[in-house]
Amino acid sequence: MAEYYISNRAGSVQWVMQRVSAMLLVILAGVHFGLQHFTSDAVSTGLTVAARLNNPFWQAFYIIFIVLALYHGINGVVGIVRDYNPPRRLRVAAEILLWTLAAYFGALGIKNVASPVPLGTVKESYAERGFPKGESPGNPPSFPIAYDFRDELRELALLEYYLEHHVSRTEAAPIGEVFAHDPAVRLLSLGKDEAAKKVAASGAALDAWVANTIALGPVDPAQRKRLKTFSSSYEFAVWAGQVRQADAKLRGDVVALGRLSNLPAYRATALH
């Protein structure tokens, strides 16, 4: 009769914990996957990730995720080592090495999650440099995918997305009025020629909204909702104006730059 696996005979606690950690990881991974693909966090800049990682609840979520993932992976490899039943000295050395690696990467991951780049710093970076342009290998890695959020069409679509999903609105202007089109019609869903006709009007309408909202002045701190990426329409207007200005400089768009002159500087600590 075949002998029982060593890992089953000498590590029953590890055997049970492997299955418990697997069940918990399925739940945590499902929540993470849903956030990244099926909610308003599924957006192509780092702002929503930064907002989540500066939230104590999500920090705790990802710390637990990291610990469980490392435990599950290393414990599984330890089980495989034990199944092959190597000499005791070799087995102990392998297990010490594996758990040391787990402790190192666990500490590194926890440090990164527990002390993220402040959300305000990330917002100020976008306000200064504009939206990103470049290539991504995708996830999982595949052929490089080019992206250009400095292009005005994509810039406006992204700003609309943020205003709709990530701003605590403190004024009543509907999205369609802010961007001069029906909110059910997304710029990126239009044909190239038709979209090109609407981009200039949408950009001008947004810039006018930015100027009017800024002219109203800062919002009473009691009305701000700091759990939102942008705590008030005023904060978003100042930020969006600066982003538009930075992108317009990179595009050489003198018309937009003319509309966006004399904007107040975006300082997250003052506006949040």
Mean pLDDT for the stretch of residues 222-243:
90
Q: Say what the pTM is.
A: 0.81
Alpha helix (H) residue ranges in 115-232? 119-129, 152-165, 175-179, 192-215
User: 194: which residues sit within 8 A by CB, 6+ positions away?
Assistant: none
Residue ranges per structural domain of the chain:
6-116, 120-271
Determine the residue type at 157: A
Burial 195-232 (b: 16+ CB within 10 A, else e): beebbeebbebbbebbeebbeeeebeeeebeeebbbbb
Instruction: Pick 6-116's CATH classification: 1.10.357.10, 1.20.1300.10, 1.10.420.10, 1.20.272.10.
Output: 1.20.1300.10
Given a cut of 80, is residue 20 above it in pLDDT? yes
> Residue 251: what are its φ and ψ, rounded to 5°?
-85, -15
Please, what sign has the CA dihedral across residues 189, 192, 197, 202?
Answer: positive
114-143 pLDDT, tens digit each: 999 999 999 999 999 999 888 877 666 777
The residue count for the chain:
272
Weakest-pLDDT range from 4-8, 82-86, 194-198 = 4-8
